[in-house]
């Protein structure tokens, strides 16, 4: 999710399409929040591990 967010953020910035830019930023923020919550051992969405 973090990688997809960065890709959409960069593509939106290069082609000047604000929808992709904001969507990429949103995905990046959600991905980082889930990464931090998962790293602390807190279950996210009823699951402790995603693999």
- Is the entire prediction scored with pTM above 0.85? no
Q: Kindly calculate the radius of gyration of the chain based on its CA atoms and give it in whole angstroms.
A: 13
* Structure-block tokens of residue 45: 């969405």
**pLDDT tens for residues 1-23?**
888 888 888 888 889 888 888 99
Model confidence pLDDT, tens digit, residues 18-47: 888 899 999 999 989 888 887 777 777 766
What pLDDT score was predicted for residue 29?
93
C-alpha pair distances (Å), 26 with each of 7, 20, 38, 40: 12, 10, 18, 22
- pLDDT tier at 50, thresholds 50, 70, 90: low
């Amino acid at each position: 999710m973090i990688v997809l967010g960065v890709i959409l953020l960069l593509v939106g910035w290069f082609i000047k399409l604000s929808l992709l830019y904001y969507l990429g930023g949103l995905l990046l923020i959600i991905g980082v929040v889930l990464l931090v919550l998962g790293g602390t051992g807190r279950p996210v969405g009823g699951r402790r591990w995603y693999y």
